[in-house]
Structure 1
Amino acid sequence: MSADPVPPLAIARTCPYAPPAQHQALRKEAPISKVKLPSGATAWAVTRYEDIRTLLSDPRFSSSRRHPGFPHLTPFVLPPLNPRPFLIDMDGQEHAAARRAVVGEFTVKRSAALATRIQQIVDEHIGVMLAGPRPVDLVQALSLPVPSLVICELLGVPYADHAFFQTRSTNLVNRNTPMEEKASAFFELLGYLNKLVTDKEEKPTDDLIGRQIQKLREEGTYDHDAMLNLAFILLIAGHETTANMISLSTLVLLKHPEKLAALRKDPEKTPAAVEELLRYFTIAESGIGRVTTEEVELGGVRIPAGEGVIVLANVGNRDPEVFEDADTLDLARGARNHLAFGFGPHQCLGQNLARLELQIVIDTLFRRIPELRPAVPESELSFKEDALVYGMHEFPVTW
């Protein structure tokens, strides 16, 4: 712990498999306490599981990133670049109505209907891996293209343009991307999606965006800018997080061959294993911010109105009061009450789809390439310590 009464919030992990030591110390010693953000502003870090669930369900903690007290994790804060709020920026009835309009696209049943196509995509990419030279970068060969193709097909975005939006989304989620580059990436991606949405307005298609346009027009509630913002959020969130989880899950399973062997012997255990992998890594570890709209007492601490709050879900998911032997990877744990997808009204829309993709990739990858192994020592692997979503830049593998 820093001697500074308001210590800087640690972002980078020192161990690939554990949250920053500072976050763990905060949960033990000062579960709700002030920290300094990279922007220089201060915010309250909340680290205990129950406190996190309480605040994420309390409407007095606002999601509005336009509020002057909102806790941004980048070294600088971009001014609002779009006049309309995004789904993740909304509160109350505005958020409930916007989410209700699209939630039917992400039900368990709707996601399960995509299983055959996801399996085809995974098989095709593993087939290319097997046919090509070794070593292979798993990130580029499998982790990124699978969720990218799935979200492109779901939204109706041409996969031929995936390099364009992956480059821009990487710049957006990298904490240290210069402000000019971040703004440029935002506007370029928004311009691309603006044309896409406009084209679908003129000629509706049978995909999520096309169906939403038709549905909302019939209801008399369609708004072009709102649809543009929805497409923007879903495109970025729909591939970035799942791609990182594929790489990290493969890495840790290879690190524990006995656990992997048990999983390969009984694929019915994969869904429980996926829940544990999500809990164990919690890759959007400090990505949930809120700001108080009035004074709130949380966990015995009074937080004044207008102050930022950072949810450290990474250590919330390692809370020993909730998860026994919480720092251990236990693939049989199967606890679905983790915070990897958040909690409350803003809980991740695409969680069912993400679970399905991870299950199919894990089962298929280790069935088809049982001799898979890292091609370089762990010390040479490059992790995303500079990003808002934890993951791997590259993962060379061979067999």
Structure 2
Amino acid sequence: MTIVSEQATDAPPAFPQLRDDPLQPPKAYVQWREETPAKLVTLQNGKTAWVVARQKEAREVFESPFISRDPSLEEFPQVRRGMSFRRNDLIMNHMDPPLHGKFRKMLAPWFTMKKINEQREDLQGVVDNAVDRLLTFETPVNFHKEFSLVIPSTVICKVLGIDYSYHEYFERYATVITRAGSSAEDFAAATQGLFAVCEQLVDESIKNPGGGVLQVLTDKMQAGEINREQAVAHTYVMVVGGHETTAHTISLGFLQLFRDPALADFLRENPDRIPDAITEMLRLQAINDGSVARITTAEIDLGGVKIPAGAGIIPLMSPSHRDPRSWDDADVFNIDRDNSKHLALGGGIHSCLGQNLARAELEIVFETILRRIPTLRLAGSESDIGFQRDGFVFGVYDLPVAW
């Protein structure tokens, strides 16, 4: 049976919705998932878009040739107050083929499994140094600020080939940019501030090449293969994309272990299963919930729902990753399940470029903390945790721990 496009007499429900439990999707998203393959919603700017809360249809959104990431199109959904980019030629995330392939090919060699495995010793050093530093604090200590954020900040500086002193700017601005609750004024100020830092980094890389990904961008810029705006914008995206999400995954992952001490004990005794546990954490946490907006370029059919051309469409990670149509006991944490279907790291041509690096960071972090601080625990109760109750990038800002 074909379902026609939704024509509601009342205004469609508001998007985004917030989580009651940090490790559970918003209740409304679960309801929408069971009601229909695609749901019309009202965005913060008053416009409408379609959200997709089932796993099969969400994957179709990622992989369909009739769905674009082009933010310059008129009805591209503005999912938060303010957008950093409204052009389709600045960053790889918003490019369609063939331009997307050019930039992917340029940067991909820095994120291959072979390249990341060559860096694992350095990554281990970063984590060990961060643990050494953490252990100098009196408890309780904010684990998110003093450890989780430190890891990706240090790593992204190394990957870019820049001095670690820039991490303070990255942390300050990226937190505002990825938080849906930020006002339009704060979002714009943070975006401008981080762009200014990235422009400075590009200039410094031209004068003193650092040998990292930033040098690749500036070398290509000087060779006339890309322009300055593209070099600055890709620096910006790597800072934001490689920073906040990894930090939140670390903090929420340890919250998962605090809730399930038996799982922590199992992983401590079986560190070879940590990669499987991380994959399951990525599935259930669904940190990037509703942040991957797209737009249809032709009419499409999602599970019988006809969505017209030129319509905004947003796959929702948290409900789709718990879709009972795709996983048995989908709400249960199970490291033995087949997680090849989850979309935490994207899908199709826009799958996360840095996923091998992110996984390596996470694997080393969890193995090292479980081994070196076996008594790590939540200080107080979950009511003491400062959650970033955000509809797009969910996480924490204060995770008090002791040992």
Moved more, 199-208 or 189-198: 199-208
Alignment pair present for 1:367 and 2:367: no
Select which of 218, 221, 227 maps to 2:225: 221
Alignment pair present for 1:47 and 2:42: no
1:5 Cα offset (Å): 5.5
| Distance in 1 between residues matched to 2:293 and 2:86, nearest whole Å | 19
Residues 115 and 95 (structure 1 numbering): CA distance in 2 closer, same or farther, change over 3 Å?
A: same
1:390 Cα offset (Å): 0.7
Counterpart contact for 1:111–1:356, Cα < 8 Å = yes
- 1:83-94 alignment runs, 5 A limit: 84-94=89-99
Counterpart contact for 2:221–2:228, Cα < 8 Å = no
- 1:138-153 alignment runs, 5 A limit: 138-153=143-158
Unaligned runs of at least 5 residues, structure 2: 1-7
Match of 1:294 in 2: 298
Which residue type is aligned with residue 283 of structure 2? Answer: R
Residues 221 and 330 (structure 1 numbering): CA distance in 2 closer, same or farther, change over 3 Å?
A: same
Which residue type is aligned with residue 248 of structure 2? Answer: N
Alignment pair present for 1:126 and 2:149: no
Moved more, 129-138 or 80-89: 80-89
Match of 2:240 in 1: 236
Match of 1:202 in 2: 207
- 1:302-321 alignment runs, 5 A limit: 302-321=306-325
Match of 1:6 in 2: 12
| Distance in 2 between residues matched to 1:152 and 1:222, nearest whole Å | 22
1:3 Cα offset (Å): 10
1:202 Cα offset (Å): 3.0
Counterpart contact for 1:36–1:43, Cα < 8 Å = yes
Match of 1:69 in 2: 75
| Distance in 1 between residues matched to 2:26 and 2:391, nearest whole Å | 14
Alignment pair present for 1:179 and 2:190: no
Unaligned runs of at least 5 residues, structure 1: none
1:100 Cα offset (Å): 1.4
Which residue type is aligned with residue 15 of structure 1? Answer: D
Counterpart contact for 1:39–1:77, Cα < 8 Å = no
Match of 1:112 in 2: 117
Match of 1:267 in 2: 271
Alignment pair present for 1:97 and 2:102: yes
Counterpart contact for 1:34–1:44, Cα < 8 Å = yes
Moved more, 284-293 or 64-73: 64-73
Counterpart contact for 1:71–1:289, Cα < 8 Å = yes
SS of structure 1 residue aligned to 2:76: coil
SS of structure 2 residue aligned to 1:230: helix
Moved more, 204-213 or 254-263: 204-213
Deviations 1:237-292 (A, max 9, x none): 11110000000001111110111111111100111111111001110011111111
1:94 Cα offset (Å): 1.1
Once superposed, what is the RMSD of the aligned Cα atoms? Answer: 2.0
Aligned length: 396
Moved more, 156-165 or 24-33: 156-165
Identity across aligned pairs (percent)?
34
Moved more, 255-264 or 329-338: 329-338
Which residue type is aligned with residue 21 of structure 1? Answer: K
| Distance in 1 between residues matched to 2:187 and 2:342, nearest whole Å | 31
Residues 11 and 158 (structure 1 numbering): CA distance in 2 closer, same or farther, change over 3 Å?
A: farther
